[in-house]
Amino acid sequence: MTKSKIKRIPNHVAIIMDGNGRWARQRRLPRLAGHRAGTENIRQVIECFADYGVKYLTLFAFSTENWSRPQREVKGLLRILEEAIDREIQSLHEKGIKLLHLGRLDRLSESLRQKLQYAIELTKDNTRGTLSIAFDYGGRAEIVDAVRRILDQGIPPQSIDEALLSSFLCTAGLPDPDLIIRTGGEMRLSNFLLWQAAYSEYYSTPTFWPDFGREEIEKALIAYSQRERRFGGLRAEDTQSRR
Ligand code: IPE
Ligand code: IPE
Ligand code: MG
């Protein structure tokens, strides 16, 4: 029933995984319990999107602005991601999924950096799907960093175009997201994929991230199927009519 309403599958889905703290508060649990539950939810979300044939999945786990949270929470988040990599990497690899990291590595703890680098290296030749984890990622910082490296390489202004700039972003080689989902109800990008989101379809649900499951995914895919993507052109019916 619901499945028959899913008529088009996005190639690349990017998710702003928000609402862990509110999920925990609802249950009178510490915020880190929410982050743990949220991280545990990732596995089934990956599987569900893979079942639907989504090739690229990108997850926003920690923004450049999230460093401003209390140190206890930040440290806990770093630790939880590290545990999740340990727990999940073998099964991701067996499923043929390639892991990528978006954002800065240099401010992460040494052990998290090493685990991420190991996981990226281990899965680099996999081709069934690509999972990108945005951790210490900010869209503005990414663009500033790209501009610096372009200048650093002495690239002349007349050679700079959109394709060149894209190739200097940490998403180089990835298609732009077709669908951006935000859980937790906010209607903002919070510095996520600013450049890449130019023509993404946006979907927000009030459901908190730890509760975002198969049924919610199907709702998002149905909503996406009903969008008409025009990229600045005309509606199909207007293109067909003569005047
Ligand atoms: C999202 O959940 C995870 C991160 C931003 C790290 P939040 O921690 O922002 O949860 P809320 O928004 O407080 O509910
Ligand atoms: C966005 O959530 C970042 C991540 C989900 C990683 P935030 O909770 O940090 O966003 P704001 O502060 O509500 O904009
Ligand atoms: Mg939040």
**Mean pLDDT across the stretch 41-56?**
97
pLDDT value at 243 more than 70: no
Bridge partners, residue 62, by sequence? 135
The response to whether residue 62 sits with its C-beta less than 6 Å from ligand 2 reads yes
How does the average pLDDT of the chain come out, rounded? 96
CATH 3.40.50.300, domain 7-137+176-227, yes or no: no
pLDDT value at 67 more than 60: yes
The predicted-structure confidence for 3-23, as pLDDT tens digits, reads as follows: 789 999 999 999 999 999 999
* Catalytic residue (one of 20, 41, 66, 191): 66
The predicted-structure confidence for 99-152, as pLDDT tens digits, reads as follows: 999 999 999 999 999 999 999 999 999 999 999 999 999 999 999 999 999 999
Edge to edge, the sheet with strand 97-102 lists: 97-102, 129-137, 56-63, 12-16, 179-182, 201-204
Bridge partners, residue 97, by sequence? 129
Can you read off the two tokens belonging to residue 71?
């140190």
- Please tell me the predicted confidence (pLDDT) of residue 183: 98
Can you read off the two tokens belonging to residue 119?
């996981």
pLDDT value at 164 more than 70: yes
Q: How far is the CA of 140 from the centre of ligand 2 (A)?
A: 15
Can you read off the two tokens belonging to residue 223?
């909503």
Which ligand sits closest to the CA of 192?
A: 2
Q: How far is the CA of 38 from the centre of ligand 1 (A)?
A: 9
Q: What is the pTM of this model?
A: 0.97
The single-letter code of the amino acid at 120 is I
The response to whether residue 66 sits with its C-beta less than 6 Å from ligand 2 reads yes
